[in-house]
Structures are given as C-alpha cells and as structure tokens.
Amino acid sequence: MAHEPAPKNRPDAVAELLTQLPGLLAAGPPASRYLIAYSSGADSSALLHALSRLPLQTPLQAIHVQHGLHEDAEHWAEIAQHNCRAWQIPLQIERVKVTATGQGLEAAARDARYAAIQRHVQTGTVVLTAQHADDQAETLLLNLLRGSGIRGLAGIPPQRTLGRAMLYRPLLSLPGQLLRDYCQQQRLDYIDDSSNHELTFERNWLRHVLLPLLQSRFPHAGDKLAVSAGLLRQALPLYNQQLRRLLEPLYGPGQSLDIAGLQQHPEFVQHELLQAYLTELGIPLPSSRQSAELLRQLREARVDRNPELDWHDHRLQVYRARLYYRRHQPTTVFPDSVWQPDQPWHWPRVGTLSITGNPAAATRQWPRFQLRQRHGGETIVLADGRRHRLKQLCQQAGIPPWQRAHLPLAYHRGQLMAVADHWLHPALRRWLQQRGLRWQWQPVRYTHECNNR
C-alpha cells in the first residue's frame, strides 16, 4: 500500500486534475454509463477518485480484474473494495484464470482482462482506463525499437471499440507524475506492484532507465514523445483512407486477398496493405519481421507451393493464388440437428442459416430440414438434373478445404437440398421462388475486436 506525504513540487495537482478532467471526458464518446477499469494502482485510483468528486450526470461503476498472478492479488482486490465503498462507487470484482500462450504472460493477462470487462458492458457504456502521457511515450519508444511502422509509432489510441462498448483513455495527455501527486495530496491508499520495478521487462527498463536518462538532458522528453505519437495518430485517418482505396480491389471470396494484385505494389506498400488487411479484420498484427518473411515467400514460392504464416493462434494461408486469414484452431463440430426455419439456425463462431424475404407466405407449411456437417462423398442434384459431387463443386468454386467443413448441409427426407447458400436442389429453389423467399447462409465475419493496448 502506498501512502506518502504530499509532494511540494506540484501543490496544485488536485485542482489541475479536477479542472482538466471534465474537458477530457467531453472530448470522448457520449456515454450512458462510465465503467472504470480499476487496478488499485496510483493511476486508476487518481482517475476513479477524481471522477467521484465531479458533479457528473453519467453513472459511474468500477471493475477490478483479479488475475491471480501476484501473491498480493487478493489484497489488491480488498483495497479496491475499501476505496470504492468509501467513494460510494459500485464495484464489480472479476477473477480470471490466465494461461500463458505464445504471445507471453503479460499479453495473455491483458486479453483476459479485456474479456472480463466486456462481460459487463452494454450499448452506451464507455470503459475508461488510466493510461497517461508517460505510458504513451514508453509505447512509442518500445514500438520504435521493435521496428514498427506508422501505426505502432502512433502509440496508444485514445479510443476504440470494445465489444458493444467504447474504450476511452482520457488521461493520455497528462503526465503520470500529476496522477501520483494527486494520490499523495488526497492521501489515497493505492498499491505499488513490485513487478513494475523488475528491469527484465522491456517497458520497465524504458521507464526506469532510458526515459530518466533522456529527461536528464531533455527535461520534457516524455511530453514531446507523447506529442509526436499524437501527431502521427492525427495523420492515421488520411493514411488509412489511402490504404483502404488500394486494398478494396484486392478483396475476394472469404475475405481473402488477391496475391497478384498485392504484388503489383512496391514492397513497402505490400507490407502496409497486409497490416491494413489484418487491422480491418480486427486481428492482432504479426511482427514486421514475420510479415516481411511471408511477403518474401509469396514472391519466391513456386506455383505448387502455398506459404503460411503462423503467429500465436492466427494463420495466413495461401490457396489458389489468394491469401486467406484463418484462426489456427481445430475444426468446429456441430451435432446433426432438426431445423424448422421459422427461426434462424445459429452455429456459434461459424455462421447463421435463415430463410428471408416473405416468411408469412410459408408459416403454415415450413418443411423440416436435417442439418449435418460435411464428412465427404456427398452429392447434390442441380438445375441441369445431374448429380454433382460436393468436393468437385467446392474445388470449382475455389472454396478452401478448411472452410468446406463449415458449410451446413440441409437434408429433406434423406435428399441433400442445400449446401449453405452456394448450391440448392431445384425442388427447394422452386419452393422458395413460389413464395418470394430466399435461402441465406451468413458466415461469421471477423470484426474490429482486437485487444490493442
């Protein structure tokens, strides 16, 4: 627990934060409720306590995510409870289990934290976090040393989507010392995580070694780095607009990219288009080195070779001269089921099958379908009256092998009537046309849900 005498170097920290915070909140997205990510540390303690003192019309709630990774984690949760009770702010404590993956324990904990927060959001919720200008400067330096492009050098975004909510960081323009001074002047109880001082972590080394060295020669180095990141972020919309214009003609079936079209651009532009493609899908980005290696393989691979790039549980894979993103995970399996299409049928993480158009025309005569997953050897009769092998139809349509198992097959009285909405039996097609109906398969699309910092 940290509780130090009030500092003399910033006697106006309370007035400064309370004066600036309303304007910073007003610059963010409109909110029906503020949900503050409260770690019990100095930064989030200053934010939460200052919000409790403002005459806000928007309700406040705090959420404390307990990862269980530190021996004092339960004590930190107790401090959160004590403070929120004293400040009269409702608190939700979420305990999560963190499993280290290829992306490292810190990233896995961050993903678990954001996933826990998302369970408590709804439309109109704005999640507030307490990253400040020092965090922004550290992020810029870290990304610079990792060889990041313009997106990485733009640093931490002030706001982004988080499920159905918006995440907003109102303190990004304020120095971290202001928040620590606020806590000390207000005599707040907050925790000081000992792991934040371990110099084996890159960010900690930047914070405790490199930045102080820079500031010994350039006193406002942290502020200036944060300003530079902000200027780059202001340029991002124009930059992204140009990339989207170049990216749009490359899109094809299954959210894939045309490799030949990609390679018409200079190598640097190819790299940026690949990054923009993954950003559009909401996928965490591979390293610049990994992206460069994939682009090299695409240039040099023989026609019969299909390069792949795996990072964490993500994969970029080539099929028939197109580049596809796929989640690197086992094929999802669903049991055979009976479907009467007065209601859509939803397959979690895969898609939704429905009949649209004029359902009232058929409500008294819905046929019952048996829905099955593809296992191989299936055939379907098409408009030419001939029976076609499903494997050949998928090959001719360019559907990658890993997507074929995710096509729902609809049977009626033992006859295959539909393969997703790609191929329909003539009898089913006539039945739909007579009633003004449409058979529709809507696969799940990747969206902008990546857990950026």
Q: Distance between CA atoms of 190 and 184, rounded to whole angstroms?
A: 10
- Give residue 27's pLDDT: 93
- Give residue 317's pLDDT: 87
Q: Distance between CA atoms of 193 and 400, rounded to whole angstroms?
A: 48
- Give residue 99's pLDDT: 67
List the structure tokens of 24: 């910073």
Strands 351-356 and 345-347: antiparallel
CB 251 within 8 A of CB 257: yes
Q: pLDDT, tens digit, for every residue of 393-433?
A: 998 888 888 888 889 999 999 999 999 999 999 999 999 99
The one-character DSSP state at 209 is I
Burial 259-272 (b: 16+ CB within 10 A, else e): bebbeeeeeeebbb
Q: Residue 8 — pLDDT band, cuts 50, 70, 90?
A: very low
List the structure tokens of 259: 């490799």
Q: Distance between CA atoms of 2 and 187, rounded to whole angstroms?
A: 9
CA gyration radius for the chain? 27
Q: What is the DSSP string of 334-395?
A: ---EEE-TTS-EEETTTEEEEEES-GGGGTTSPPPEEEE---S--EEE-TTS-EEEHHHHHH
Q: Residue 73 — pLDDT band, cuts 50, 70, 90?
A: confident
For residue 21, pLDDT over 60 is answered with yes
| Burial class of residue 42 (count of CB atoms within 10 Å of its CB; 0-12, 13-18, 19+) | buried
CB 398 within 8 A of CB 323: no
For residue 6, pLDDT over 90 is answered with no
- Give residue 331's pLDDT: 59
Interacting residues of 72 by C-beta distance below 8 A, sequence separation 6+: 191
| Selection from 163, 161, 167, 157 nearest residue 126 by Cα | 167
Q: Distance between CA atoms of 342 and 369, rounded to whole angstroms?
A: 11
Domains 13-131+169-219 and 241-327 share a fold: no
For residue 5, pLDDT over 50 is answered with no
Q: pLDDT, tens digit, for every residue of 242-276?
A: 999 999 999 988 789 999 999 999 998 999 999 89
Q: Residue 61 — pLDDT band, cuts 50, 70, 90?
A: very high
Q: What angle do CA 243, 157, 159 make, to 5 degrees?
A: 105
Interacting residues of 102 by C-beta distance below 8 A, sequence separation 6+: 311, 312, 313
Q: Residue 444 carries which side chain, given as an amino acid letter? A: V
Mean pLDDT of 57-64: 95
Whether the predicted model's global pTM rises above the 0.85 cut: no
Q: Which residue did the predictor score with more confidence, 386 or 356? A: 386
Sign of the torsion angle spanned by Cα atoms 14, 17, 23, 29:
negative
List the structure tokens of 260: 């030949």
Interacting residues of 197 by C-beta distance below 8 A, sequence separation 6+: 204, 208
Helix (H, G, I), strand (E, B) or coil at 415: strand
Q: Residue 217 — pLDDT band, cuts 50, 70, 90?
A: very high
CATH number for the 13-131+169-219 domain, one of 3.40.50.620, 3.10.20.30, 3.40.50.300, 3.40.640.10?
Answer: 3.40.50.620
369, β-bridge pairs: 339
Mean pLDDT of 339-356: 85
Q: pLDDT, tens digit, for every residue of 290-344?
A: 888 899 988 887 766 778 888 877 888 888 888 998 876 555 677 888 998 888 8
Mean pLDDT of 37-56: 95
Interacting residues of 374 by C-beta distance below 8 A, sequence separation 6+: 390, 404, 405, 407, 409, 419
For residue 143, pLDDT over 60 is answered with yes
CB 388 within 8 A of CB 382: yes
What share of the chain has pLDDT > 90, as a percent?
45
- Give residue 452's pLDDT: 43
For residue 83, pLDDT over 80 is answered with yes
Other residues' Cβ atoms within 10 Å of the Cβ of residue 102: 11
For residue 450, pLDDT over 60 is answered with no
Q: Residue 202 — pLDDT band, cuts 50, 70, 90?
A: confident
Helix (H, G, I), strand (E, B) or coil at 130: coil
- The domains of the chain are located at 13-131+169-219, 241-327, 337-443
The one-character DSSP state at 148 is -
Note the Cα 154 to chain centre separation in Å.
Answer: 17
- CATH 2.40.30.170: does it fit domain 241-327? no
The answer to which of 3-7, 211-215, 304-308, 334-338 has the lowest mean pLDDT is 3-7
Q: Which residue did the predictor score with more confidence, 143 or 50? A: 50
Burial 12-36 (b: 16+ CB within 10 A, else e): ebbeebeebbeebbeebeebebbbb
